[in-house]
Amino acid sequence: MQARRASRELALILFSQLEENLSKYTQTDFEDIILKSVRILSNNASEELKLTIGPLLDYKAKIEEYEAEHETNLARPIGASNKPVPMILTSELIEKIDAMVEVAEKAIVGLEMAEFATLESSNEVKDYVVDIAKSFQQNKKMIDELIQKYATGWDISRLVKIDKDILRIAITELLFTKGAPMKVIVDEALELAKKYSTEDSSAFVNGILAKIIVEKGIS
């Protein structure tokens, strides 16, 4: 996982914990919240990996039962070890395996992010999250006004919190941080929306960011 992508996911977790009164936060506060966020990610990843063990053991038991009750093994002498038998993977079994793989992949991403943020060699992750948080703290009024301007028919206070935070992070990057290409910022904002919010969120986020990019002449 790229360091900047890890930073954006951590920033989203950080933003979810911030109160409306941003002026009270110091850099140390931001760093403490990031540390707690890393612990949340790490713990969630560990729990998700643990959750995959139960279903895997269940399916192992089903496969062993299928093998034992196959006509090949039923015909063998009592006490003899079972022989491997052909097995057709059903669509249900494949679906369950796919679901477990998806959970495991999410857990791996969480652990990667935790590793990125805690290794001494990857201070870039923490520094970029703090940069985003401080830049938003200093420019919150302007950023929220931009969101309100283009969130047609929506009161910003009623927007889905995670969508609002994804927009805040992306707009902060587009206008106030350096080093990330506009396309990367937008693409990863859409990925966060698809991953963490509703089906319609990515289109909503994309529409607002596109209008801001045009207004500000960002290229």
The two tokens of residue 137 are 């703290």
Report the C-alpha gap between 113 and 111 in whole angstroms: 5
- Give residue 109's pLDDT: 67
- Report which secondary-structure segment, H or E, holds 122: none
- Report which secondary-structure segment, H or E, holds 125: helix 123-150
The two tokens of residue 199 are 């089906």
- pTM of the predicted model as reported, rounded to 2 decimal places: 0.71
- Give residue 113's pLDDT: 61
Task: Report the amino acid identity of residue 121.
Answer: S
Among 48-57, 130-139, 192-201, where is mean pLDDT lowest? 48-57
**Residue scoring higher pLDDT (171 or 177):** 171
- Give residue 1's pLDDT: 44
pLDDT at 3 over 90: no
Mean pLDDT, residues 65-85 taken together: 85
Mean pLDDT across the chain: 84
- Give residue 121's pLDDT: 44
Mean pLDDT, residues 71-85 taken together: 85
**Residue scoring higher pLDDT (78 or 2):** 78
The two tokens of residue 99 are 């679901």
Mean pLDDT, residues 16-45 taken together: 85
Cα end-to-end distance, the chain, whole Å: 25
- For residue range 85-137, list pLDDT tens digits in order: 877 666 666 777 777 777 777 666 666 666 655 544 457 888 889 999 999 99
Contact 167, 204 (CB under 8 A): no
Task: Report the amino acid identity of residue 79.
Answer: G
Mean pLDDT, residues 59-76 taken together: 84
Selection from 161, 150, 210, 164 nearest residue 185 by Cα: 210
Half-sphere exposure of 90 (CA within 13 A, CB side): 7
Domain annotation for the chain: domains and CATH numbers: 3-216 (1.10.940.10)
pLDDT at 44 over 80: no
Mean pLDDT, residues 1-7 taken together: 73
- Give residue 115's pLDDT: 60
DSSP state of 197: S
Half-sphere exposure of 130 (CA within 13 A, CB side): 17
- Give residue 112's pLDDT: 64
Q: Give me the percent of the chain exceeding a pLDDT of 70.
A: 87
* Burial call 180-197: b when 16+ CB within 10 Å, e when fewer: beeeebbebbbebbeebb
Report the C-alpha gap between 27 and 6 in whole angstroms: 19
- For residue range 199-212, list pLDDT tens digits in order: 889 999 999 999 99
